[in-house]
A and B are shown apart, each in its own frame.
Chain A
Amino acid sequence: MGTKFAHFSISDSSIDQTIGLLNLIPKRPNIMEIMKRVAPDNELFNKPIEQLKKPENQSDEQWQKFQKD
């Protein structure tokens, strides 16, 4: 398994000032925002829900639930 990491850095901010900002980081990221960034060409994440086609392997009921969610 390879190495993985991610971090951010902020300019002109002391350690204590930066710690003060950490409460503003969402506890959970917005999954749709992540997917829009990671997979910009995947229409599932970038088209209005009304414009998406129902996948063949989904029942009407499942599709309606997905659209509602």
Chain B
Amino acid sequence: MQKRTYYVGQNLNWTTVFSEEFGFESIDVYTLSLSKNTDKLFFTIGLFDEDVFTFSVIKEGKIVTHHVSGAAETYEMKPSLGDAAIFAETFNVVPRKEQLEQILETNDRHLDKKITELENLISVKLWLNRSAPRELRWKKVIL
């Protein structure tokens, strides 16, 4: 069986797992599968060619809320506005729920800007290109 490389790092009060094999289309499926084995809260994020942005909260094998924006239809995906109240609670920014809602609702093609604004709001690192985990010296795990 082929091995997979993961990078694991502390990300505020979250532990983030990055793998180049994860994609926006598969990250929720992998995470749903993992979350069935624990009662911990998960969030996922995916970006594809600055075309599609996905953002989900997952718990105990279920999607709690799911956001899809960008050119989702190009990939047969349905655009979906995530529940800002759930995201705000998840990231402990309830007083800034409206601001979070505005960022999610903004319907422009600058998904990189949307991710940066979200990062600034929730103070959790979201933008992770393939070199970032190495630069951050996250723990490399091959399984």
1/0 contact string of B1-40 vs chain A (CB within 8 Å): 1101010111101111111001111111111111001101
Q: Closest CB-CB distance, A2 to chain B, in whole Å?
A: 4
Q: Does A54 contact B (CB under 8 A)?
A: no
Known: A22-B141, A41-B76. A6 touches B34 (CB 8 A): no
Q: Does A4 contact B (CB under 8 A)?
A: yes
CB of B45 within 8 A of CB of A6, answer yes
Bound Cα distance from A7 to B133, whole angstroms: 11
CB of B46 within 8 A of CB of A6, answer yes
Which secondary structure characterizes the binding site on chain B? mixed
Give residues of chain B (54-103) contacting chain A, Cβ–Cβ below 8 Å: 54, 58, 75-78
Q: Closest CB-CB distance, B30 to chain A, in whole Å?
A: 5
Q: Closest CB-CB distance, B32 to chain A, in whole Å?
A: 8
Q: Does A58 contact B (CB under 8 A)?
A: no
Q: Closest CB-CB distance, B124 to chain A, in whole Å?
A: 7
Give residues of chain A (22-41) contacting chain B, Cβ–Cβ below 8 Å: 22-27, 29-30, 33-34, 37-41
CB of B25 within 8 A of CB of A18, answer no
Bound Cα distance from A2 to B115, whole angstroms: 15
Q: Does A11 contact B (CB under 8 A)?
A: yes
A residues whose Cβ falls under 8 Å from a Cβ of B: 1-15, 17-19, 21-27, 29-30, 33-34, 37-42
A to B CB contacts below 8 Å, 13 in the list: A2-B48, A4-B47, A4-B48, A5-B128, A7-B27, A9-B124, A11-B40, A12-B13, A24-B33, A25-B33, A26-B33, A27-B2, A37-B28
